Structure 1
Amino acid sequence: MPLTAAEDIADLLQTARTIAMVGASDRPDRASYGVMKFLQDQGYRVIPVNPRITGEHVHGEYIWRELGQIGEPIDIVDIFMRRETVGPIVDDAIKVGAKAVWMQLGVVNPEAAARAEEAGLKVVMDHCPKIEFARLGLKPVEQDA
Structure 2
Amino acid sequence: MNHDSYSDSYIRGVLDEVKTIAMVGASPNPVRPSYFVLKYMLEKGYQVIPVNPGQAGKEILGQTVYASLKDIPQPVDMVDIFRNSEAAGPITDDAIAIGAKVVWMQLQVRNDEAAERAEEAGLNVVMNRCPKIEYGRLSGEIGWAGVNSRTLSSKKPRLAAGFQHRKLGTGRKSD
Query: What corresponds to 1:126 in structure 2?
Result: 128
Corresponding position: 1:53 with 2:55: yes
SS state at 2:125 partner:
strand
Matched residues, percent identical?
51
CA deviation map 1:4-51 (0-9, x unaligned): 111011011011110000000000110000000000000000000011
Q: Which amino acid counterpart does residue 133 of structure 1 have in structure 2?
A: Y
Indicate the structure (1 or 2) with the bigger Cα radius of gyration: 2
Whole-angstrom CA distance in 2 between matches of 1:111 and 1:62: 31
Residues 121/101 of structure 1: CA separation in 2 closer, same or farther (3 Å cut): same
Query: What corresponds to 1:104 in structure 2?
Result: 106
1:89 to 75, 88, 91: 91
Q: Return structure 1 stretches of 4+ with deviation > 6 angstroms.
A: none
Query: What corresponds to 1:23 in structure 2?
Result: 25
TM-score by length of 2: 0.78
1:116 to 115, 118, 123: 118
Whole-angstrom CA distance in 1 between matches of 2:39 and 2:117: 30
**More relative contact order, 1 or 2 (CA 8 Å, 6+ apart):** 1
Residues 142/119 of structure 1: CA separation in 2 closer, same or farther (3 Å cut): same
SS state at 1:28 partner:
coil
Which moves more between the two structures, 98-107 or 1-10?
Answer: 1-10
CA deviation map 1:76-102 (0-9, x unaligned): 100000111111100000000000000
Whole-angstrom CA distance in 2 between matches of 1:15 and 1:70: 20
SS state at 2:93 partner:
helix
Q: Which amino acid counterpart does residue 107 of structure 2 have in structure 1?
A: L
Q: How does 1:25-40 map to 2 (within 5 A)?
A: 25-40=27-42
SS state at 1:136 partner:
helix
Residues 141/66 of structure 1: CA separation in 2 closer, same or farther (3 Å cut): farther
Give the conservation status (yes or no) of the 8 Å contact 1:43–1:140: no
Give the conservation status (yes or no) of the 8 Å contact 1:42–1:140: no
TM-score by length of 1: 0.94
Question: Runs of 5+ in structure 1 lacking a partner?
Answer: none
